[in-house]
Structure 1
């Protein structure tokens, strides 16, 4: 065939190949379009995987399985009342986590802080609650698939009627004498006495150990076996917040008080020799003549403690100690100076009246008080302080009652420590 005709044959061949390809493609399309809703595993789809050889392989459906439901446990339970303010507030999630937790006072909106623990499954409050307060606890949990759910609960704490308070004497940062017991006065009767004693820790820098003694359900005292060593520091750690003292009464505070013991200042008042000797840390510093209780009203013997009540000018009334008009011992009303109280029942150290002054050091003619000169009573008034020791000797009278002031030191320690 001549050369000029060769290109024409080539064009015909290409056209034939194109027609063949179009026909093959039509067959493929016809095979795929067999009908709606029919899946073919041999045809690659968006859900198919490809093996290393590039061949399409079947794959599972991508529907996410349902997560197990989250179980949320709250403490306190919803609508709880009389909740102890010391109790932890918690939210514990099972099969999920605590996404958020907000604990707040219902009235003020003030938040109470908390922290997440156990890989985010548990939220725990980190601050104490308040008494007599309504709270709202708003907790959101999250399951394993990220779905969230919110629970809101409310509860209320112990009401004011069940809040137990405590007053300690001496007050924090006081300086007192070596004979001062520690006194704790409760606002409510204490049933769980042993628990209260364990909640009050007392440490003396002198190393002295002591014991508690209950005088009533609301009055507790603590003293060492002997008088406090001079210049001892007492640290009183009271952990009473949330403590159930009995009958549903709950302690309302934690506090640490420090009390300083000063020098040992002691008066020895001798009713037989009508003389008062004053010692500081064992050294005699003053001596004064005195007049003390007469035969009808002898001064209390034993140990007494200077109280905090001092009166530069005092007005005494005989009827307050049971004396009536017509009684030979009735002195009516009298004014005295430099009065330092020893007992609530009426024993003082004070300046003797003008009528008694001539008998100082000679005759006992008071109604139990220790009468001194203006100089002596003035020195005591200005230099002896709460907790200093007065030791009365030579008197026929009994010791004072333990709670008539601080008669604690007249009780042997082995007996004092008994419950």
Structure 2
């Protein structure tokens, strides 16, 4: 072996030994250039947010999303909140649009970690929910989701009486008739706030799953104002039916006009604001058709009303059959057919003397006209000393015949 060969062999042995020492943790040498070793070490040990070109990618926690409604959700309540919440990141921008292209406004929270829509959605509509979020390193992620709201078949509406702005008497209950049965009655009642300038507080009474009324323990205060604020949009009525409306109804209460019809005295007397206003002779239901007793609330008026004996089940040959006739100054008390009206010509001799009507309250021309012109919807007549049964609770506004302790249900 020449001298050059011995030198080369020795150098290889030295380098191999150095590598063995490094592998055993006992040395500080590397088999690469010193500068390259330092760069590799620093890229692994440096802080996560370093972004110097050529170094390892930053280590950051992944963004976590909580979006509502869920992607692909169906039958979403239009009143349900539409929101996006991120953890370990921020929301850059959000776009919520309906199927018609209309944009739904929304707002970011102060720290940029959440977004929420500012208004309700529409029924039976599809929505696209697109957003961009970024992680702590500034890397952005785009997402698009879709959902649809409650279908038209599951919308629930309601009719309200009295109508907004209407002026009524002190005995008029508030009535709401729903388009669909209400199973979650408590939820519906909580969404309806009734207030009055008199400070009176009342209760709800459900006459069926589709109709509820509200009244106070005593008649409304004369010349007060009653407001019913119904926030039923999005309220779950039960069985998949969702309320589709909010309504504010203001009702004006007039003077206190109360009549008393006495079947024994054969009189009809009226007071206005607790002061006598008039009294007239009357004829009421006979023994076969006694007038209903209790409180009956005025409903509607007709200058001339057509009546038919067949409507109450009478046929030709029956002693009580009267065929068909028109009566003057008719004020309806019940849907089933009880009125206050001007007595027919054949009944005039019996006014103030005996009862021979089919349940109605018959008055002379002066009394019938006065009632027609001076009393209105929501005024009340109390029928006393009759053999008839109490007016049916659901035949007109028979609410006042239900004891107050039993009214709330």
**TM-score after normalising by structure 1:** 0.83
Pick aligned residue for 2:213 from 221, 238, 244: 221
Secondary structure (helix, strand or coil) at the match of 1:290 reads strand
Partners of 2:294 and 2:401 within 8 A in 1:
yes
| CA deviation map 1:200-234 (0-9, x unaligned) | 12122222221111111111111111111111221
Counterpart in 2 of 1:72? 65
| CA deviation map 1:39-70 (0-9, x unaligned) | 769xxxxxxxxxxxxxxxxx995546254443
Where do 1:48-63 residues align within 5 Å?
62=53, 63=55
Counterpart in 2 of 1:323? 314
Secondary structure (helix, strand or coil) at the match of 1:343 reads coil
Pick aligned residue for 1:102 from 91, 95, 110: 95
Where do 1:157-172 residues align within 5 Å?
157-172=149-164
Counterpart in 2 of 1:334? 325
Report deviation, 1:311: 1.3
Partners of 2:78 and 2:234 within 8 A in 1:
yes
Q: Distance in 2 between matches of 1:40 and 1:110?
A: 60
Partners of 2:75 and 2:151 within 8 A in 1:
yes
Which has the higher Rg, Structure 1 or Structure 2?
A: 1
Partners of 2:51 and 2:58 within 8 A in 1:
no
Secondary structure (helix, strand or coil) at the match of 2:175 reads strand
Pick aligned residue for 1:350 from 341, 357, 369: 341
Counterpart in 1 of 2:256? 264
Could you tell me which runs of 5 or more consecutive residues in structure 1 were left unpaired when the two chains were aligned: 1-36, 42-58
Report deviation, 1:255: 2.3
Residue 404 of structure 2 is aligned to residue 413 of structure 1: yes
Task: Tell me the matched-pair count.
Answer: 364
Q: Which moved more, 1:336-345 or 1:66-75?
A: 66-75
**TM-score after normalising by structure 2:** 0.85
Counterpart in 2 of 1:284? 276
Secondary structure (helix, strand or coil) at the match of 1:184 reads strand
Change (3 A) 1:60 1:156: closer
Q: Distance in 1 between matches of 2:263 and 2:93?
A: 76
| CA deviation map 1:311-352 (0-9, x unaligned) | 111110111111112111011101111111000010001111
Secondary structure (helix, strand or coil) at the match of 2:381 reads strand
Could you tell me which runs of 5 or more consecutive residues in structure 2 were left unpaired when the two chains were aligned: 1-31, 37-49
Counterpart in 2 of 1:183? 175
Secondary structure (helix, strand or coil) at the match of 1:381 reads helix
Where do 1:15-414 residues align within 5 Å?
62=53, 63=55, 65=58, 67-106=60-99, 108-117=100-109, 119-307=111-299, 309-414=300-405
Q: Distance in 2 between matches of 1:147 and 1:132?
A: 36
